[in-house]
Amino acid sequence: MMRKLISVVFVIAFQFLQAQNLQITSPDEKIAISFQLDEGVPFYNVSRSGTEIIKKSKLGFIIKDQKPLDSNFKIESHEINSFDETWTQVWGEEKNIRNHFNQLKVSLTDDSSPKRKLNIFFRAYDDGIAFRYEIPEQESFNNFEIMDEITEFVLTGNYSSWWIKAYQWNRYEYLYQNSPLDGIDTVHTPFTVEVNDSLYLSFHEAALVDYSSLTLENMGNHVLKANLVPWSDGTKVKASAPMKSPWRTVQISETPGGLITSYLILNLNEPNKLDDISWIKPQKYIGIWWEMHINKSTWASGEKHGATTENTKRYIDFAAKHGFDGVLVEGWNEGWDGDWTANGEIFSFTKSYPDFNLDEVTDYAASKGVKLIGHHETGAAVLNYEKQMEDAFALYHKHGVNTVKTGYVGWGQNIKRVDEEGNIQKEWHHGQFMVRHYQKVVETAAKYHIMIDAHEPIKDTGLRRTWPNFMTREGARGQEYDAWSDDGGNPPDHTTIIPFTRLLSGPMDFTPGIFDILFEDDPPVDNRVNTTLAKQLAHYVVLYSPLQMSADLPENYEANLGAFKFIKDVPVDWEFTRVPNAKIGDYITIVRKDRSSEDWYLGSITDENARNLKVKLDFLTPGKKYTAEIYKDGANADWKTNPLEIEITSQIVDSNTEMELKLAPGGGQAIRFSPAK
């Protein structure tokens, strides 16, 4: 690891500092952050190449039973640091990441009694900016409750944006809307904005630990204000000094693809805390899951029960035959009978249904070189889960299970907790109470060498750097909606939007790979998958996850082994990621290099419109020939009328080749580039 740290400390007389406009620029000097006090009120603004992109925006807090911590300030001191390192991800979409920034720390003191202290840190990167608050330890200001965070982002125009509404019953699982800024509501982050065709912004947060999740409230006149998800009593954050807020982040790019290859969120998190990472391994898996979504079997016990010993062995045999690492089994444990979404307290995480033998199944998997992937659905009854968590992880560890998918299906503000008076209170999935819970899960899992795939999660804020066993999450509408959603499933443009919104926060367990697109061989289902077959393959490159599922039934893959070969070949851990072309909501092409070989993979997808996209293969090693194995939409393919037509070809290419990608309506293309023999 290369590392350089230069620090200059300024402690200057009050009178001089009050008139000073403190500023730092990014290492390439294009982005500038300015801080100032205006009659004791803290403000910041951001410009790029001399053009203001965030106007004068207010900072501070409202504290319960105290004066607001947002005015009457004087600057005690400020400190400017420059930092440059290159660190290696345990796994990820880019192996080596440069963390290069300039930092301004401003130390403020409330000029009126009791003279409370507040520090604000600003960081300027070439790909964006970030800032966070610190309330240092101090005698007069120890335990406190934050009732509001004043943080503003004042934009300079009514720009096009992509968003999902916050405070809804179905958490993050909504289709993204595209509208001008003045048409948005209170929205979740990442929140992405197109200023013009050469400037894109995405607002989010990093290092969310023991704090409430950030949403952004539309205040009118292009002003976005922090809106923290509250506790049931209205408090936003319960804290004690010293306290650091999460980083408030703005990724800044000239292209949509530059947002994807920005690693600002990861860079703002602490380094890996785990000494032993030998057990953390990205993997591809199949599982007893999709068959329940299409009503072929059930999670509940009975004659259609999916998670039986016999059925699990069938999946294990398929996984072993085709080189998959794991088999997910949902519905193995007691508690699925009845309305478990309303009665999650009935779940046991250690007791199997009678027709599922955990000892037999895990022994059989081990004999085949396959791992069982465990499942903990809580039904949002987190207290019940926390009571059993240690025993549940210990049981899995005993049986060699090192990956667990968790679930928190529940609607709106219905997470139950017991307050200090013994009363039941109901909390949001995304408030401080649940932020603490999700963190407890990943840390407890690490004790037992278990990786986590969280569904109905808290959003990713880059903590996978610090806790690399927090592998992937759901946190958006995944492929399951194609099986049963009343609105007909995910439209063709859905996966051309989420790479620039949800996936900017981190990996997503989208569960791609459905081959029976029309459900012709399954029990009667009104829905269908709204893509072509080639687009399903391309999703394995476009939609990153280190735990990547092949979601369809084994028999559907056996019926189309030609297309299935791409899923078997494509890796889940990458050395490089590039985005040759992209337009949010229309199309995207991503290329990634395998971390363990010289192979490159390309995935390109479009919305409901056909596209012809050109891609230069200048990412390939100059002077070398490669075999391109191409999986493309057939000549007459169309997501509506002819989704299954696929053409599989090959050709010899090199770094000077320019390929034309012909994408059918709702279609895609997937390519493997291997050194020619």
- Which residue numbers are catalytic? 480
- Judged by phi (left if over 0) then psi (alpha if -120 to 50, else beta), residue 447 lies in alpha
Contacts of 274 (CB under 8 A, 6+ apart): 280, 446, 467, 468, 469
- Rounded Cα distance between 102 and 121, Å, is 11
User: Could you tell me the two tokens for 605?
Assistant: 């997808």
Q: Is 666:604 a contact under the CB 8 Å cutoff?
A: no
- Rounded Cα distance between 415 and 419, Å, is 13
User: Could you tell me the two tokens for 494?
Assistant: 């859905």
Residue 598, number of CB atoms within 10 A of its CB: 14
Instruction: Provide the 8-state DSSP code for 305.
Output: B
- For residue 300, report the phi and psi dihedrals to the nearest 5 degrees: -70, 160
- The residue among 351, 410, 402 whose CA lies nearest residue 168 is 410
- Rounded Cα distance between 511 and 11, Å, is 54
Dihedral of alpha carbons 325, 331, 333, 335, sign: positive
- Rounded Cα distance between 598 and 41, Å, is 55
- Rounded Cα distance between 291 and 275, Å, is 39
User: If DSSP codes are grouped into helix, strand and coil, which group holds residue 75?
Assistant: strand
- Rounded Cα distance between 378 and 397, Å, is 19
User: If DSSP codes are grouped into helix, strand and coil, which group holds residue 67?
Assistant: coil
Residue 417, number of CB atoms within 10 A of its CB: 16
- Rounded Cα distance between 377 and 331, Å, is 9
- Rounded Cα distance between 443 and 64, Å, is 31
Contacts of 241 (CB under 8 A, 6+ apart): 135, 136, 137, 138, 141, 142, 144
User: Could you tell me the two tokens for 440?
Assistant: 């407890």
Instruction: Provide the 8-state DSSP code for 260.
Output: H
- The residue among 127, 160, 197, 156 whose CA lies nearest residue 45 is 156
Q: Is 370:324 a contact under the CB 8 Å cutoff?
A: yes
DSSP strand pairing (73-88 vs 61-63): unpaired
Query: Alpha helix (H) ranges present in 496-574?
Result: 533-542, 554-558, 561-569
- Rounded Cα distance between 665 and 668, Å, is 9
Contacts of 371 (CB under 8 A, 6+ apart): 283, 325, 326, 327, 365, 400, 401, 402, 403
DSSP strand pairing (117-125 vs 96-110): antiparallel
Q: How many helices (H) and strands (E) does the chain have?
A: 12, 39
User: Could you tell me the two tokens for 639?
Assistant: 């997501």
Q: Is 510:502 a contact under the CB 8 Å cutoff?
A: no
| Side-chain half-sphere CA neighbours of 89 within 13 A | 27
